[in-house]
Amino acid sequence: MVIAVSDSGEEEIRKFINEVAEICLSDEFINLKNELESLYLKNGIENALLTAFQDALFSIFTQREGVRNTKKFVY
């Protein structure tokens, strides 16, 4: 008999991956990434496509984190 044991570290990684996937498939992310790609390519930024992807992901992820943290302090 096999008993599944939940690993809290693995569960946190799964939640994080799910959130990243949800962000990357969103219209907001795609639009922001495309806009940044255009700006970065036009301005000769090294690794423009990768940098645009990273910056868009970082921006939206931190925006969501800020919203979550703000909700903790609603009176």
Q: Write the pLDDT tens digit of every residue in 16-55.
A: 999 999 999 999 999 999 999 999 999 999 999 999 999 9
- For 10, the 3-state DSSP assignment is helix
> Per the confidence metrics, is the pTM higher than 0.75?
yes
Domains contained in the chain, number: 1
Structure tokens at 42: 């036009």
Asked whether residue 5 is assigned to any structural domain, the reply reads: no
Asked whether residue 30 is assigned to any structural domain, the reply reads: yes
Asked whether residue 22 is assigned to any structural domain, the reply reads: yes
Asked whether residue 51 is assigned to any structural domain, the reply reads: yes
CB atoms near residue 67 (< 10 Å): 9
Three-state helix/strand/coil letters over 12-55: HHHHHHHHHHHHHCCHHHHHHHHHHHHHHHHCCCCCHHHHHHHH
Asked whether residue 53 is assigned to any structural domain, the reply reads: yes
Asked whether residue 7 is assigned to any structural domain, the reply reads: no
Candidates 10, 63, 57; CA nearest to 30 is 57
Asked whether residue 1 is assigned to any structural domain, the reply reads: no
Asked whether residue 3 is assigned to any structural domain, the reply reads: no
